[in-house]
């Protein structure tokens, strides 16, 4: 299991197989509301209100369709490494919206709300996996910053999420 995120009286816990939502209105007797299968490593979660859930995906086994069969090819359009976005407005029935691919995936993520920008939220992503092949995701490259100022090796990704259309 990974970190917890909270939305109202719900606790959401990511795990390597997806995430679970618990009703913790009575903290001494939590109730499982739903389990959502969507494998990848880490699957750290964060939430924006009781509206959106963000789940980190870092290892090479995560699929863009949340399938359980994994990804065996070294380069594949079926792989997700980055962040997955879910609509949790009906928290008992989460809906997978999309994913945003990054060069190293993301081990963890944080949500930032800018009070000067009410139409968007921002995700800060940090990955610790090796850099993907540019054949899998264009723009991914390695090297030290002295060798390559565009290296993805030390990158912190920031994703702007428009609330009207995440």
State the pLDDT at residue 136: 94
- CB 64, CB 29: distance < 8 Å: no
State the pLDDT at residue 59: 87
Query: pLDDT in tens for each of the 166 residues of the chain?
Result: 878 999 999 999 999 999 999 999 999 999 999 999 999 988 999 999 999 999 999 988 999 999 999 999 999 999 999 999 999 999 999 999 999 999 999 999 999 999 999 999 999 999 889 999 999 999 999 988 899 988 998 889 999 999 999 9
Counting Cα atoms < 13 Å in the Cβ hemisphere of 85 gives 19
State the pLDDT at residue 2: 78
SS3 per residue for 90-110: CCCCCEEEEEEECCCCCCEEE
Enter the pTM of the model.
Answer: 0.94
Residue 100: CB partners within 8 Å, gap ≥ 6? Answer: 82, 83, 85, 159
Query: What residues are paired with 18 via a beta bridge?
Result: 15, 37
CA distance 153 to 140: 9
């Amino acid at each position: 299991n990974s970190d917890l995120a909270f939305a109202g009286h719900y606790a959401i816990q990511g795990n390597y197989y997806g995430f679970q939502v618990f009703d913790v209105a009575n903290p001494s007797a939590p109730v499982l509301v739903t389990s959502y299968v969507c494998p990848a490593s880490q699957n750290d979660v964060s939430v924006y209100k009781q509206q959106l859930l963000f789940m980190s995906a870092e290892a090479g086994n995560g699929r863009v369709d949340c399938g359980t069969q994994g990804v065996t090819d070294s380069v594949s359009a079926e792989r997700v490494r980055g962040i997955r976005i879910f609509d949790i407005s009906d928290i008992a029935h989460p809906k997978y919206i999309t994913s945003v691919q990054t060069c190293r995936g993301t081990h963890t993520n944080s949500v930032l709300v800018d009070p000067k920008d009410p139409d968007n939220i921002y995700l800060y992503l940090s990955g610790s996996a090796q850099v993907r092949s540019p054949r899998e995701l264009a723009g991914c490259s390695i090297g030290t910053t002295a060798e390559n100022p565009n290296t993805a090796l030390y990158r912190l990704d920031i994703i702007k999420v428009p609330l009207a259309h995440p």
